[in-house]
Structure 1
């Protein structure tokens, strides 16, 4: 081998080494980002430099439209180029999937000089290569223009083939990354906007994903769900472990109208579950859809109660009507007998009998009022202080026998929209309960004031108080506690009246210290 041949070989090897290093650097640059525009720009600039060309145009294949599109046309003031597969030189290469080396563009029939005419640029030589993925599917086309020294060589064709493979992989990865990002965002939007609560649980029963609805549904039971074990955060839901086991066995399962207590309230849920399996893996998990049906169940119970009360009412109404008639006759004859009775002891007995008959008639009226389910309400505007002072003598009369002291603190002098007859009944029933709970010389206080857009009315006594176990039942019809008479409808009627006024009622009680009842009703809009 002579010195000249050796020198040429060394020069060739050196050039090859430089090219290899440039390709390696380009590959590292392309794999450092998932941004498609950055990748296309890098491929275009590096290809131009490595092939010692004037400029480069990159086309990306759109399989849905079967078009090539390009935003990378170096130094050309063109927003976007679109070509059909088979159209122009780039379209021809996309169709044949073969490298095309054109020495003189204007002597080639498939060359379209339109872009040159628009830009004033003169295309001489072109080296065009398809960008194919591992499966040999079309990803795009790279078009390198105008070799700076002579024309593109066989070595350039070989080089662009390698460069095209690297570019195709980088472009496809960027497209997959973007597609996965869009798909992930789409799935997240579905999960976020689904009306049911969604929980994903892994094979170890650890919660890996929850949507906002699920967080709101389970707020009364736990502060956090994600990354916690089901047994730790949802221990109140005793049926869930069994549900998960059924899902393992059958692939899917459901729970309907399960009752769970949280924050001293009862909640009702429907839960549907399915198995999540990974393709090619033995691992699995669970996906649960949870619907809070508490309002629906409570409405059903309320309607059921109304139906039952209506049936009871029809029957009771007939019975009470039959009772009231003889009672009225007995009262009339007692009055006559009392007038003609000289013995004071017998007069006292008659007075007791008469009083008890009055009480019996009052109780029958109370039963009728409740079981008939009368929901008519006659609202009228009145000055609340006038209403209070009109009812005060009635309550004082109730307290007279036990010498109970009553105090009224009025801090609201405005108007209210109420049914005065029903509100009188509310005041009387609450006062009557307080009277039963207090001994001689007890204290009863009524306080009224406005707060935001509501009227707050506090009824406070220093009686025996109500056991905590009874507070939840105080508004249940026919519930009594240590009462020698009465039928347990007084507070049920109070609750009904409050509901009819779109209000709220709260009971705070301590045994042997007393009870406070807070009634809240909306005020007239200003």
Structure 2
């Protein structure tokens, strides 16, 4: 956005707004750049023009708790500017950002000569910011409590799963040994593969509840991975009369095969939920683009509801799915983030496309 249209600037009289624009220093900050640390003496007010800034408090050694976010048209650092006290939190860029910096001493001089109506308007913005920050912090705490509950629940599930899963695995192995014909062997192998997937899925949910994702990385051929994915889900697709196809080059990434399989399962599973009562098709394409692997997962379903699109990658966000937990896309994003990749989507009434970018492994 343009500096002169920022809501902080627009709260002043035209002459003062022009002076603030002249004094402001525009800077571009790459992702993960620390703008200021907790406890620093305030020297600037910051206006967010592009990107996103995260505010967090240190909870222990190298661990932080997010307390608020600032997006375009927001401003931050005003409390330190007004009372001169040290910064109360760390500010770090979480989406590469363009900020306008206004020096504290020059801003205070302008404020001292500002009409009461402009100050009241600015004061209203500050109160609104405080309310928003409080709401974000409360949501963070609620989310933390929910994830702790998920962790406890999954721990119980894993414990209860072990006995029946072991029984299924042993039974399929015995059937395979007693009936070594090709068809029986293939079905028994499929049973054992699905049982292993169940265990991996519960372990991944436990990791997500803990807020961590441990990767067992090795070279993964995405074409071979999708062949395996199609085989494991062929019965699933036939049951719901869905067409599934993929086209993949031999692109190699350094990744965790089981977790990448989980990403495909979650995103394709959502598409199946949207299509299962109407038929349809799901297509996956994989290609190499210079230093990255590009993946597109497309369906011709009814699209993601407007009311959840902005929060789709947040935990517990779901709409119209029977028994849905709202964790599928959140887990997928956490896995892609852990691989140093990116995930985004486009959705309309004609279908949804997820776009994933992963670093490739040069061999």
The answer to whether TM tops 0.5 is yes
SS at match of 2:334: helix
Partner of 1:213 in structure 2? 26
Between the two proteins, the alignment pairs up a number of residues equal to 259
| Structure 1 residues 405 and 311: alpha-carbon distance in aligned structure 2, compared to 1, 3 A threshold | closer
Partner of 1:275 in structure 2? 109
Partner of 1:461 in structure 2? 299
Per-residue CA deviation, residues 153-184 of structure 1 (Å, 9 max, x unaligned), is xxxxxxxxxxxxxxxxxxxxxxxxxxxxxxxx
With CA pairs under 8 Å and 6+ residues apart, which has the higher RCO, 1 or 2? 2
1:289-368 maps to which residues of 2 (within 5 A)?
308=145, 311-317=148-154, 319-320=156-157, 324=161, 367-368=205-206
Per-residue CA deviation, residues 282-317 of structure 1 (Å, 9 max, x unaligned), is x6799x9xxxxxxxx9xx999978954663355334
The structure 2 residue matched to 1:433, chosen from 255, 258, 270, is: 270
Larger radius of gyration: 1
Partner of 1:498 in structure 2? 336
| Structure 1 residues 486 and 462: alpha-carbon distance in aligned structure 2, compared to 1, 3 A threshold | same
Instruction: Write the distance in 1 (CA, Å) between the matches of 2:204 and 2:76.
Output: 43
Aligned-residue offset at 1:424? 0.9
Partner of 2:311 in structure 1? 473
Instruction: Write the distance in 1 (CA, Å) between the matches of 2:138 and 2:339.
Output: 21
Aligned-residue offset at 1:204? 4.1
Comparing 486-495 and 304-313, the one that deviates more: 304-313
| Structure 1 residues 325 and 377: alpha-carbon distance in aligned structure 2, compared to 1, 3 A threshold | closer
Does the 8 Å CA contact 2:308/2:318 hold for their aligned counterparts? no
Aligned-residue offset at 1:453? 1.1
Residue 420 in structure 1 maps to residue 257 in structure 2: yes
Aligned-residue offset at 1:393? 1.1
Aligned-residue offset at 1:516? 0.5
Aligned-residue offset at 1:388? 1.9
Aligned-residue offset at 1:458? 0.4
Partner of 1:401 in structure 2? 239
Instruction: Write the distance in 1 (CA, Å) between the matches of 2:140 and 2:96.
Output: 20
Gaps of 5+ in 1: 1-197, 222-234, 258-263, 289-296, 332-357
| Structure 1 residues 477 and 327: alpha-carbon distance in aligned structure 2, compared to 1, 3 A threshold | farther
Aligned-residue offset at 1:475? 1.5
Does the 8 Å CA contact 2:281/2:300 hold for their aligned counterparts? yes
SS at match of 2:50: coil
| Structure 1 residues 214 and 313: alpha-carbon distance in aligned structure 2, compared to 1, 3 A threshold | same
Instruction: Write the distance in 2 (CA, Å) between the matches of 1:204 and 1:324.
Output: 70
Instruction: Write the distance in 2 (CA, Å) between the matches of 1:507 and 1:520.
Output: 12
TM, length-normalised to structure 1: 0.40
Does the 8 Å CA contact 2:48/2:100 hold for their aligned counterparts? no
RMSD of aligned alpha carbons: 5.1
Partner of 1:489 in structure 2? 327
Instruction: Write the distance in 2 (CA, Å) between the matches of 1:303 and 1:268.
Output: 25
Does the 8 Å CA contact 1:455/1:523 hold for their aligned counterparts? yes
Aligned-residue offset at 1:372? 3.5
Does the 8 Å CA contact 2:25/2:101 hold for their aligned counterparts? no
Per-residue CA deviation, residues 189-212 of structure 1 (Å, 9 max, x unaligned), is xxxxxxxxx9xx788432222343
Per-residue CA deviation, residues 79-128 of structure 1 (Å, 9 max, x unaligned), is xxxxxxxxxxxxxxxxxxxxxxxxxxxxxxxxxxxxxxxxxxxxxxxxxx
| Structure 1 residues 239 and 520: alpha-carbon distance in aligned structure 2, compared to 1, 3 A threshold | closer
| Structure 1 residues 492 and 268: alpha-carbon distance in aligned structure 2, compared to 1, 3 A threshold | farther
Instruction: Write the distance in 1 (CA, Å) between the matches of 2:221 and 2:28.
Output: 45
Instruction: Write the distance in 2 (CA, Å) between the matches of 1:307 and 1:378.
Output: 26
Aligned-residue offset at 1:276? 4.5
Does the 8 Å CA contact 1:306/1:373 hold for their aligned counterparts? no
Gaps of 5+ in 2: 1-8, 30-46, 52-71, 89-94, 123-133, 169-194
Aligned-residue offset at 1:521? 0.5
Does the 8 Å CA contact 1:504/1:521 hold for their aligned counterparts? yes
Does the 8 Å CA contact 2:291/2:359 hold for their aligned counterparts? yes
TM, length-normalised to structure 2: 0.56
SS at match of 1:275: helix
Partner of 2:188 in structure 1? none
Instruction: Write the distance in 2 (CA, Å) between the matches of 1:277 and 1:477.
Output: 42
Instruction: Write the distance in 1 (CA, Å) between the matches of 2:323 and 2:97.
Output: 31
Aligned-residue offset at 1:382? 3.0
Comparing 379-388 and 461-470, the one that deviates more: 379-388
